Amino acid sequence: MKVVDNNGIKLTCEISHEEILILMAGMREICYGVDIHAFETRLGYSKERVGVLVQQLRSILDEQDIDE
């Protein structure tokens, strides 16, 4: 992973296919694989928000024709 630009509001990164798959796997595991007491308090985000991010990442991979 490499930071391409950081303007203080938006961070632009280059990320490999493998790295995005690792991030997705981890997010899925914390959302659906384990029961985390006080999920939102511990992570700072709701399960729904994390789930939306997983869906957005999946869409990016689909657009690029990249399989999991």
pLDDT in tens, 52-67: 999 999 999 999 998 8
C-alpha 53/C-alpha 56 separation (Å) is 5
CA dist 49 → 5, 21, 28, 31 (Å): 24, 18, 12, 10
Question: Two tokens at 41?
Answer: 């308090």
Percent of the chain with pLDDT over 90: 63
Q: Per DSSP, what are the bridge partners of residue 6?
A: 11
Are 37 and 67 in contact, with CB atoms under 8 Å apart?
Answer: no
> What token pair was written down for 37?
């007491």
Q: Could you tell me the pTM of the whole model?
A: 0.77
